[in-house]
Amino acid sequence: MKHQKSQILIPFIIISNLFPLYGVLKFNWTIFSVVYIFWLEMLIVSTFLLLKILFSQGDSNATFASKLILAAKFFVFRTGIFFFYLLFIVVFLGFLVTGRESLKDAGIFQTMTLQDPFYKITLLNFVAFNLLEFLVQFLAIGDYKKSKPNDHFVLLDAHMIVVHVVVVLGSFLYEFVLKSMKANHHTAMIICVALFVLIKILVDIGKQRVSNAANDEKETVPYI
């Protein structure tokens, strides 16, 4: 029953991930805009992972002090990884647009300062989804009772790896579509981001199902 209830999140996963594609279709988002919004999403995910470390009650030996220490370590390591990754996408994508369009036209400063109204809406969309997942899956359904703080101490997960790999491959695909297929910028962006979003949706749904299966398995383990 709990497993079925948690499946209600899957449609929200799909809808949430479609926002950046709509940004490309309707508002001509650049490749940097798309990559940066998913970087911000990973920050949001990490914030809720930190909360899960603090709220998890599956380990009777874990005290609030030990949870705080673990959360602090998680924050330090994840922050370091994320800012290294931010440097990577700014430099990598900055060089990618150099020579084709000015940094102003590429929208890097506008994107990083969240000046686009729909960009803010997309960011709120990611916050809303993760808040929903935290309230429904973790608290209401009761995952917090079974999960241990260490379960959420994840420095590199499938989500981060997929985003990183797709960013690199997608950037080269973007270049290929522009040069080899003679497509314009907008068409190249639609192709690359559509592929990116499809892969990310499949990975996010896979993660959700794995999490559901793991929680169902914990429920079948008898308490001694």
150 Cβ contact list (under 8 Å, min separation 6): 59, 70
Residue with tokens 């270049």: 175
Two tokens, residue 132: 């929903």
Cα gap 105→97, rounded to integer Å: 9
User: pTM for the whole thing?
Assistant: 0.85
Residue 107, Ramachandran bin (φ over 0: left; ψ between -120 and 50: alpha; else beta): left
Q: Which of 29-33, 72-76, 124-128, 167-171 has the lowest mean pLDDT?
A: 167-171
Q: Which pLDDT tens digit goes with each residue over 57-91?
A: 999 999 999 999 999 999 999 888 888 888 877 77
What is the average pLDDT across 184-188? 82
Cα gap 70→56, rounded to integer Å: 12
Cα gap 78→84, rounded to integer Å: 10
Q: Which pLDDT tens digit goes with each residue over 86-129?
A: 887 777 766 655 445 555 555 677 888 888 999 999 999 999 99
Which band of pLDDT confidence, cut at 50, 70 and 90, is reported for residue 223? very low
Q: What percent of the chain has pLDDT over 90?
A: 40
Q: What is the pLDDT of residue 71?
A: 94
Contacts of residues 199-206 at CB distance under 8 Å and 24 or more positions apart, as own/partner, are 199/162, 199/166, 200/17, 200/38, 200/162, 200/163, 200/166, 201/13, 201/14, 201/17, 203/158, 203/159, 203/162, 204/13, 204/17, 204/159, 205/10, 205/13, 205/14, 206/158
Nearest alpha carbon to residue 178 among 192, 167, 168: 192
Where along the chain do its domains lie?
Answer: 12-212
